[in-house]
């Protein structure tokens, strides 16, 4: 790994994490809170993540494993790493209380609650989203090391996926404080967990990188992304009641990912 590739991966992860801050800005625009937009954004993100996981990351993981093991064991170890990634993100999901889980707040609504309660909700959401975004940041960083062709669509998908989370944090904080600045700060702080996860990943990987470790991480990242798409993005998109928009955007996300890979 070159220093340049590490810095580019860190920069891309930082850009992905900025999605929550973008969500805070967009919470000021009524159009950005409309169900059609959010359903489409979440569906598009799911399409990108599902396509890249099954048709890019997993085949690459198996190919790198095959260079070190027989095909049977290469497939077996890659599959184990994939489900290891699923279990990791599922465990984090389980440990975050349901009422503070960002997965439960994809359907962003403004409801009349008391100001103290609204502010507490926003801050707890920021904390929960930060915990959730930490492994997501590591996953984005690892995928970015695989090259810009794969990384850039993933970064776009993560940003789109973070926008509703940023809105979910900003609205209750703004309702409680009346301050756009505080709403933006809490949203941005929740997104900083992603570059933090990337830094931790870099410090861990820089001295122990090997083809086998790279294969394990690619497969685990695929598992994390599939879980996020199935557990969070697709149900969140469907919750807005625009089924056909969701499906169209899922397919568009897959088509964009396929086109970016074919252009290599």
Using one digit for the tens of pLDDT, what is the confidence trace for 159-174? 887 887 777 777 767 7
Least confident of 56-65, 123-132, 216-225, 238-247: 123-132
- Residue 210 in contact with residue 218, Cβ under 8 Å? no
- Residue 11 in contact with residue 195, Cβ under 8 Å? no
Q: Residue 142: name the closest of 158, 118, 130 by CA.
A: 158
* Average pLDDT of span 244-262: 88
pLDDT at 1: 61
For the cut 80, the answer to whether the pLDDT of residue 175 exceeds it is: no
Higher pLDDT, 234 or 260: 234
For the cut 60, the answer to whether the pLDDT of residue 259 exceeds it is: yes
- Residue 65 in contact with residue 80, Cβ under 8 Å? no
Q: Residue 142: name the closest of 213, 86, 87, 77 by CA.
A: 213
206 membership: H or E segment, kind and range? none
For the cut 90, the answer to whether the pLDDT of residue 244 exceeds it is: yes
For the cut 70, the answer to whether the pLDDT of residue 68 exceeds it is: yes
pLDDT at 110: 43
For the cut 80, the answer to whether the pLDDT of residue 62 exceeds it is: yes
* Average pLDDT of span 219-241: 88
Q: Measured between alpha carbons, how far is 198 from 132 in angstroms, rounded to an integer?
A: 13
Distance, CA of 83 to chain centre? 17
pLDDT at 260: 72
- Residue 20 in contact with residue 191, Cβ under 8 Å? yes
- Give the global pTM: 0.71
Q: Measured between alpha carbons, how far is 19 from 158 in angstroms, rounded to an integer?
A: 7
pLDDT at 114: 44
Q: Measured between alpha carbons, how far is 48 from 237 in angstroms, rounded to an integer?
A: 14
* Average pLDDT of span 231-244: 88
Least confident of 54-63, 195-204, 241-250: 195-204
Higher pLDDT, 37 or 81: 81
């Amino acid at each position: 790994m070159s220093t340049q590739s590490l810095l580019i991966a860190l920069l891309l992860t930082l850009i992905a994490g900025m999605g929550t801050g973008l969500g805070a800005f967009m919470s000021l625009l009524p159009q950005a809170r409309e169900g059609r937009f959010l359903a489409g954004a979440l569906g598009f993100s799911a399409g990108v993540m599902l396509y890249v996981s099954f048709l890019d990351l997993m085949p690459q993981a198996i190919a790198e494993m095959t260079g070190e093991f027989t095909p049977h064991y290469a497939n077996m170890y890659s599959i184990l790493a994939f489900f290891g990634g699923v279990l990791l993100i599922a465990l984090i999901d389980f440990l975050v209380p349901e009422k503070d889980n960002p997965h439960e707040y994809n359907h962003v609504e403004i409801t009349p609650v008391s100001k103290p309660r609204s502010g507490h909700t926003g801050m707890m959401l920021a904390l929960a989203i930060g915990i959730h975004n930490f492994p997501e940041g590591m996953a984005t960083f690892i995928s970015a090391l695989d090259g810009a062709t794969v990384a850039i669509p993933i970064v776009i998908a993560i940003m789109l996926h973070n926008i509703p989370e940023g809105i979910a944090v900003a609205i209750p904080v703004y309702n409680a404080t009346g301050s756009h600045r505080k709403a933006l700060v809490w949203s941005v702080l929740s997104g900083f967990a992603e570059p933090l996860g990337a830094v931790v990943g870099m410090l861990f990987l820089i001295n122990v990188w090997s083809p086998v470790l790279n294969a394990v991480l690619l497969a685990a990242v695929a598992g994390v992304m599939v879980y996020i798409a199935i557990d969070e993005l697709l149900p969140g998109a469907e919750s807005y009641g625009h089924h056909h928009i969701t499906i169209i955007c899922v397919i568009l996300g897959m088509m964009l990912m396929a086109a970016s890979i074919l252009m290599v």
